[in-house]
């Protein structure tokens, strides 16, 4: 199904000027934008992927990853096709950069599916727009999130954060949580490895954390974005916004167009040690042997949420405070 894009303007000679993301593609009639899912048809810009779902599953919320947003719960996760970055290490390139089969799921059907999971006894808190880039599914996410909110469901974005300010602000009133990929903390990495820019992503984080729950993920790619100085600058910037923002370091494995060796475990541990000098909650993902995914009180170090993979044993914090020392814990439960 196709739907007219919300944020675009009509230019001369039928050119459509897309305003959804910082690329600001000028799309000629019969052509598509960089994301591959916005097409100009006779001067009208359409989202070709509206409601087209490439992947869906009932996931643990920790898989997003969101560790401080209804820990131990589940969320119905939906993804589409297309992306506005070209990361050489992309883990979901089959749907981000290719054209896999899709199934149409209307906004109403999506909300009803999440409600059905709750009715079946699952602790399903709502809908996550994930797997591929949800801002390249903007019109569908906007329509679905409004319906989900009316139905009492939560809305979560797992995103690269590469979006223009106007569409971001229009969507945020319906979003409860975001995990934003900050893929590196240098413009050079974004240009050479992702075909994007860092500054728009920083702006997204700076806007979003004031409106909803935000967590950050950085995939540490061996030798490219894992240096101590860069980690320090990333953590210091986040701390300047709010030291309670959780930061997740993920281990890189060779994928798509990149064959560098996997991130050494010592690099991940070093990054966590550096970041914890600035931030109260720092985790290491997809490396369970390092046992760095549990939540501890940043004041007294009491174990609050014991995680093994995506399984959570909740010891607290009851009432939003540490049961050991009474420290306020930044967590949505």
Buried b / exposed e over 124-159, threshold 16 CB at 10 Å, is: bbbbbbbbbbbbbbbbbbbbbbbbbbeeebbbbbbb
**Residues in CB range of 60: below 8 A, 6 or more apart:** 72, 73, 74, 75, 310, 311, 312
**Residues in CB range of 222: below 8 A, 6 or more apart:** 252, 260, 261, 262, 263, 264, 267
pLDDT of res. 313: 84
Side by side, which strands form the sheet with 8-10?
Answer: 8-10, 16-18, 26-27
**Residues in CB range of 190: below 8 A, 6 or more apart:** 183, 184, 196, 197, 198, 201
**Residues facing 179 on adjacent strands:** 158, 215
- Tell me the C-alpha distance between 32 and 35, whole Å: 8
pLDDT in tens, the chain (333 residues): 889 999 999 999 999 999 999 999 999 999 999 999 999 999 999 999 999 999 999 999 999 999 999 999 999 999 999 999 999 999 999 999 999 999 999 999 999 999 999 999 999 999 999 999 999 999 999 999 999 999 999 999 999 999 999 999 999 999 999 999 999 999 999 999 999 999 999 999 999 999 999 999 999 999 999 999 999 999 999 999 999 999 999 999 999 999 999 999 999 999 999 999 999 999 999 999 999 999 999 999 999 999 998 989 877 787 789 999 999 999 998
pLDDT of res. 193: 97
Q: What angle do CA 291, 177, 72 make, to 5 degrees?
A: 45
Structure-block tokens of residue 214: 């935000």
Q: Find out whether 300 and 317 touch, Cβ atoms under 8 Å.
A: no
Alpha helix (H) ranges present in the chain? Answer: 93-96, 107-119, 138-150, 165-171, 187-189, 199-208, 228-241, 265-275
The SS3 assignment for 72 reads coil
**Residues in CB range of 3: below 8 A, 6 or more apart:** 46, 47, 50, 139, 140
Ramachandran sector of residue 286 (left: φ over 0; alpha: ψ -120 to 50; beta: rest): left
- Tell me the C-alpha distance between 38 and 60, whole Å: 31
- Tell me the C-alpha distance between 14 and 44, whole Å: 8
């Amino acid at each position: 199904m196709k739907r007219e894009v919300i944020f675009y303007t009509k230019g001369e000679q039928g050119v459509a000027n897309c305003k959804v993301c910082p690329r600001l593609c000028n799309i000629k009639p019969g052509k598509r934008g960089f994301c591959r899912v916005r097409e100009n048809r006779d001067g009208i810009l359409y989202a070709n992927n509206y409601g087209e779902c490439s992947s869906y599953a009932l996931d643990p919320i920790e898989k997003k990853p969101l560790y401080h947003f209804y820990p131990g719960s589940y969320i119905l996760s939906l993804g589409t096709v297309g992306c506005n970055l070209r990361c050489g290490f992309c883990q979901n390139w089959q749907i981000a950069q290719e054209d896999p089969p899709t199934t149409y799921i209307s906004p109403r059907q999506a909300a009803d599916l999440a409600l059905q999971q709750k009715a079946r006894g699952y602790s399903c808190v709502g809908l996550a727009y994930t797997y591929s880039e949800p801002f390249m599914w903007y019109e569908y996410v906007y329509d679905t999130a409004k319906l989900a909110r009316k139905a009492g469901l939560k809305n979560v974005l797992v995103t690269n954060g590469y979006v223009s300010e106007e569409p971001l602000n229009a969507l945020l009133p319906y979003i409860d949580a975001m995990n934003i990929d900050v893929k590196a903390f240098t413009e050079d990495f974004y240009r050479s490895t992702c075909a994007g820019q860092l500054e728009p992503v920083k702006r997204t984080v700076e806007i979003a954390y004031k409106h909803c729950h935000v967590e950050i993920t950085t995939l540490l790619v061996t030798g490219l974005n894992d240096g101590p100085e860069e980690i320090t600058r990333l953590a210091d910037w986040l701390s300047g916004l709010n030291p309670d923002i959780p930061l997740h370091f993920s281990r890189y494995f060779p994928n798509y167009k990149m064959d560098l060796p996997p991130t050494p475990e010592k690099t991940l541990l070093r990054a966590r040690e550096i970041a914890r000098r600035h931030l109260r909650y720092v985790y290491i993902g997809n490396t369970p042997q390092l046992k760095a995914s549990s939540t501890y009180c940043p004041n007294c170090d009491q174990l609050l949420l014991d995680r093994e993979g995506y399984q959570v044993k909740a010891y607290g914090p009851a009432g939003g405070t540490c049961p050991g020392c009474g420290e306020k814990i930044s967590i949505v439960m």
